[in-house]
Homo-oligomer: A and B are copies of this chain.
Amino acid sequence: MSESQSPLLEVRGFSWWATNAGIKDKSLDFGVIAASRPCSAAALFTRNNFPAAPVILGRERLRSGRLQAVVVNSKNANAASGERGLADARRTAQVLGEALGIDPALVLPSSTGVIGVNLPMDKIEAACRGAPQGLASTPEAIDQFARAIMTTDTRRKAVSVKVGAATLTGVAKGAGMIEPNMATMLAFLVTDAEIPAPSLQAALSSATERSFNRITIDGDTSTNDTALVMASGLAGKVSESAFEGALLEVCQHLAKAIVEDGEGATKLIELTVSEAPSTEAALAIAKSIVNSPLVKTAIYGADPNWGRFVMAIGKVFAHPVPLEKLVIRFGDGEQALAIRAGGQAADVLERIRAYLKNPVLHIEVSLGQGRARETVWGCDLTEGYIKENAYYTS
Contacts and interface: CB of A to CB of B under 8 A. Distances in A.
Given A317-B49, A389-B301, A307 B220 contact: no
Contacts of A115: 305, 307-308, 310-311
Interface in A375-391: 381-383, 385-391
A47 interface: yes
A80 interface: yes
A114 B301 contact: no
A303 B394 contact: yes
Interface string A219-234: 1111100000000000
B220 A292 contact: yes
Interface in A14-61: 47-51
A307 B77 contact: yes
Contacts of A50: 310-311, 313-314, 321, 323
A344 B114 CA distance: 14
B114 A305 contact: yes
A104 B383 CA distance: 47
Interface in A357-394: 381-383, 385-394
Given A321-B49, A390-B303, A223 B293 contact: no
Contact of A48 (B49, B315, B388, B390): B315
Interface residues of A, number: 72
A320 interface: yes
Interface stretch (A138-146, A174-182, A240-248): A174-182
Contact of A301 (B84, B382, B391): B391
A390 B84 CA distance: 45
Contacts of A255: none
How many subunits of this chain does the assembly comprise? 2
A83 B221 CA distance: 41
Residue from A294, A383, A393 with most neighbouring chain B CB atoms (10 Å): A294
A79 interface: yes
13 contacts: A50-B314, A84-B342, A84-B343, A115-B305, A118-B343, A218-B293, A219-B291, A223-B310, A297-B386, A300-B390, A303-B390, A383-B387, A385-B386
A230 to B, nearest CB: 27
B387 A311 contact: no
Contacts of A81: 341-343
Contacts of A223: 310-311, 314
Contacts of A218: 293-294
A320 B50 CA distance: 8
Interface in A89-129: 114-118
A193 to B, nearest CB: 34
A225 to B, nearest CB: 11
A334 interface: no
Given A342-B80, A392-B303, A311 B220 contact: yes
